[in-house]
Amino acid sequence: MRDQFQQFFERPDTFTLGVCNGCQMLANLQAIIPGSEHWPRFVRNLSEQFEARLSLVEVGDSPSVLLAGMQNARLPIVTSHGEGRAQFESSAQREAFFRSGLVPARYIDNYGSATELYPQNPNGSPDGVAGACSSDGRVTILMPHPERVHRTVQHSWHPEDWGHDGPWLRMFRNARVWVG
């Protein structure tokens, strides 16, 4: 299985999205995913409990093919996990990760700043880390759930100009564009 997964990740015509448990799984496969050498693992929330709420993230300036054109967007997103805290093996790994520009999203506070404060950051991840992506952008892992808020009706409130599509639908449209 390891060889098959490694061959998949090495193919230039594939992309991968891992959400929540998929994020954890792919973070644990980091050794066979090209361009992911500084990724953290995702472990138990600092609150020591399952967290389920609507959180706010800012999409980062990363090479993620799924988040293309969404940079700097501040968007509501569903959080639903008990083990979502990014944990780095060392401060050197943490510094390398942030220098790499592979942070596709961060939990932010109501001022738009990356936060470690609970409850805005539901798991206590350093600097608000909400996921990671590979250096070529073909693998994106996110702890929160964009697939749960891709339609406007899935939001308790939204601007009138959103129409039927929520802003996270763009991620899935980006996937379609990338496939061709």
Per the CB < 8 A criterion, the answer to whether 82 and 124 are in contact is no
Q: Which two tokens stand for residue 115?
A: 């936060």
Number of Cβ atoms within 10 Å of the Cβ of 123: 27
Residue 98 pLDDT: 96
Q: Which of 51, 58, 81, 145 is catalytic?
A: 145
Q: Which of 147, 150, 155, 158 is catalytic?
A: 147
Q: Which of 20, 51, 58, 81 is catalytic?
A: 20
Tell me whether residue 20 is one of the annotated catalytic residues: yes
Tell me whether residue 145 is one of the annotated catalytic residues: yes
Residue 133 pLDDT: 98
Q: Which two tokens stand for residue 27?
A: 């973070």
pTM of the model: 0.96
User: Mean pLDDT per 10-residue run, the chain (180 residues)?
Assistant: 96 97 97 97 97 97 98 97 97 96 97 97 98 98 97 90 94 96
Tell me whether residue 89 is one of the annotated catalytic residues: no
Could you say which DSSP state residue 165 is in? B
Could you say which DSSP state residue 135 is in? T
Q: Which domains does the chain have, with CATH numbers?
A: 15-179 (3.40.50.880)
Number of Cβ atoms within 10 Å of the Cβ of 141: 29
